Amino acid sequence: MPTTKVIDLSASNTIPKDLKAAKAAGVIGMVHQASAGTNQTDEKAEARVYLAKEAGLLTGLYHCLSNGTTRRQADSFVTFCEALGLKDNWLLAVQVDGKISADEAAEFLEIVEQKTRRSPVLFASADFLAKLKGTDQSKLSKYRLWIAQHDTVVDVPVAFGKYFLWQYSDEGSVDGVEGDVGCSDSLIQEADALKTVWSGFKGKTDKSEEEAAAEPSNPGEPESGTAPAEPQEPTMTPEGELDNAPAEPQAPTMTPDGELDKPAPDPSDPLEEYGEEDGEHAPPTAPTPYKS
């Protein structure tokens, strides 16, 4: 019996509060529709990406491909994903049905791969995969397969070998989400293991992440996992002198004019200042002027 490890959502779903309940129910990742056709974008995608991150879910976006303008759709999809803050650890996918040709699907995947430096996922319906029988599937089978086959068992085309995700229902339910939910299982059941292969990213780390790692920590707080440095005790040098000892205050001296040459009072020292209400300390007596 399949279990729900990944959910796919769209604007037709409502999330009254957050996705934390879905995470608690065992969901590992969320893939949201970003766009469809030539110029349709999902107005809820940005908020859903935020909610997925807040809940600690793996994040993904997909495009619903239509006929005729594959390159334009791929370019627009990538541009929209970038506008949403595309990260290295996001999964990208294209959803195709029986109306789409294998060449159109392959072209879309290749463009997205070139532009984003990651291996996208083929989110394919059963009727699309049925059309591939007896044809050269090499251009598609190099990509991971997210198969939409609503049954208790899954039939994977031989060329692909195995599925990455299996959408076993598009009318499922999950805690915290209203409306029909796409529910998918994965051959990779552990969250940490799925995370390592989730995005298929093959490039460098996000510049934003590099900058965040290079930023100095708050100078007013110790770094995570460390305690503030303890003050060092004075030690003796080989010559018998104190090393690291606090400097001793210097005694007042006289100027050639007979005036007291004394450093300015230290405002942090309570004995340096005297007020009218200070009954414990009296001001020091001025020394007799020097006579030649």
3-state secondary structure of 5: coil
For residues 25 and 183, give the distance between their C-alpha atoms in angstroms, rounded to a whole number.
Answer: 13
Q: Look up the pTM and report it.
A: 0.71
pLDDT number for residue 259: 56
CA distance 180 to 116: 30
pLDDT at 110: 98
**Cβ contact 102:131 at 8 Å:** yes
- Output the pLDDT for position 280: 39
Q: What are phi and psi of 251, to 5 degrees?
A: -75, 150
Long-range contacts of 69-72 (CB under 8 A, 24+ apart): 69/38, 70/104, 70/107, 70/108, 70/111, 71/107, 71/111, 72/38
Of the candidates 181, 182, 185, which has an alpha carbon nearest to the alpha carbon of residue 163? 185
94: tokens are 């294209």
C-beta of residue 175 within 8 angstroms of C-beta of residue 16: no
Per-residue pLDDT reduced to its tens digit, 248-257 = 555 555 555 5
Q: Which helix (H) or strand (E) holds 130?
A: helix 126-131
Nearest-CA neighbor of 84 among 41, 36, 40? 41
Query: pLDDT by residue (tens digit) across 100-139?
Result: 999 999 999 999 999 999 999 999 999 999 999 999 999 9
Structure tokens at 256: 């050639």
SS3 of 109, please? helix
The confidence score (pLDDT) of residue 66 equals 97
pLDDT at 1: 84
Element (H, E) at 221: none
Residues with pLDDT less than 70, the chain: 204-292
| Closest by CA position to 42, among listed 79, 12, 8, 72 | 12
Query: What pLDDT, on the 0 to 100 scale, is given for residue 203?
Result: 80
- What gap in Å lies between CA 18 and CA 52, rounded to an integer? 8
**Structural domains for the chain:** 6-204 (3.20.20.80)
Q: Identify the pLDDT of residue 286.
A: 45
